[in-house]
Amino acid sequence: MSAAATAQGPAQSPRGTTFTAATLLVPILLINAIGFMLPVANLAVISVSEIRSSGAMTGGWSIAKWTTVATDPFYWELLANTVRTSLIVTILTLIVSYPIALCLHRMNGAWKSILLVLVISPLLLSSVVRTYGWIAILSDRGLVNSALAALGAQEPFRLMFNLTGVMIGLTEILMPYMILALLAGFGRLDPRVEEAAATLGAPPYRVFWRVVLPLSLPGVALGSLLTFVLAISSFITPKLLGGGRVFLLATEVYDQAIVTLDWPLAATLSIIVLVVFGLALAVYTRILRQIG
């Protein structure tokens, strides 16, 4: 009765569907406009504003920051450094998260829920707290080096206040996101298909390479995009574990905006980060189209 009513109702006609969809999109469009488009436009304006050495804006315009960024090799290196670090962190996160996600995907029942909660629970803690946790583990007198010293190591390994520490910390902090994205992308995995491969003569490692991995690529792509973007924009962990010796775009934006009070430069660098995001998204879309 109700099915018949809706089947003939306006909501089912093509035009009606489009209209409903558009209506449903209004809230997110509004949020996007107010929370994203507007600030970005504002950033663009700030990046070409003129300032005094005190940081106060004169009200005039200047493209000085853009020319500085374009011509000073420091910023090019900063960009390269940031992209490289984020890529390495993404790959490390993927490698450690993939087996966990696959294992979780294969489980069922109570254990799956318990372990899933365990995987997500780090997200309940602020990354400041987790980074301090890593300091306790990685410092010269920390857990790792104490253990190594007890085993007879003469010199402590420098695991902190350098890029190594930043990468270790970021990898762990980004793992939950990666695992969730992988799980979301594992929908095409089908145990029957793996069994079919086995009966056709594929030993387990070939089943993995020929069937499991290709079918999980959408998850890998999604997780990598998410992790890469989060790695680029993270600044607490690089700041604390880098000890002021690791320079990345996000930490530089923070320093320029809060310490040096050079807002136009901070805005310029922010826009560059945004461009990197856009490029990452474009790459992701291309990859997805290729494997889809």
Partner 1 sequence: MPAEDHVSPVTKHNADETAAPDRFLSLQALTKRYGDTAAVDAVDLDVRKGEFLAMLGPSGCGKTTTLRMIAGLVPTTAGQIVVDGRDLTNVPPYQRDMGLVFQSYALFPHMSVAANVAFGLEMRGMAKADIRARVAEALQLVRLTGYEDRRPGQLSGGQQQRVALARALVIRPLILLLDEPLSNLDAKLREEMRNEIRDIQRRLGTTALFVTHDQDEALTMADRVVVMNKGRIEQTGTPEDLYERPRTAFVAAFVGRTNRFPGTGAGEVVHVGGVTMRCARPVSGPVEVMIRPHRIHLDGSGERRADDNHASGTIIRTTYAGNVVQYDVQAGDTVFNVEQSTDATGALVSVGTAVTLSWSVANTLVFEAAP
CB nearer partner 1, residue 149 or residue 202: 202
Contact call for residue 197 and partner 1 (CB under 8 A)? yes
Separation between Cα atoms, residue 170 and residue 177, nearest integer Å: 11
Question: CB 80 → partner 1: shortest distance, Å?
Answer: 35
DSSP alpha helix (H) spans, the chain: 2-8, 14-32, 38-47, 64-71, 73-106, 110-120, 127-138, 143-150, 163-185, 191-199, 204-207, 213-233, 236-242, 249-254, 263-291
Work out which of 214, 258, 282, 286 binds partner 1, going by CB under 8 A.
214
Work out which of 147, 258, 282, 291 binds partner 1, going by CB under 8 A.
291
Contact call for residue 288 and partner 1 (CB under 8 A)? no
**Phi/psi at 109 (nearest 5 deg)?**
85, -160
CB nearer partner 1, residue 116 or residue 198: 198
Strand partners, 61: 49
By CB under 8 A, the residues from 7 to 26 that bind partner 1 are none
Work out which of 5, 110, 201, 259 binds partner 1, going by CB under 8 A.
201
Contact call for residue 221 and partner 1 (CB under 8 A)? no
Separation between Cα atoms, residue 231 and residue 168, nearest integer Å: 12
Work out which of 160, 166, 174, 215 binds partner 1, going by CB under 8 A.
215
Contact between 225 and 90 (Cβ < 8 Å): no
Contact between 41 and 49 (Cβ < 8 Å): no
Binding site for partner 1 (CB under 8 A): 188, 190, 192-193, 195-203, 206, 210-211, 214-215, 291
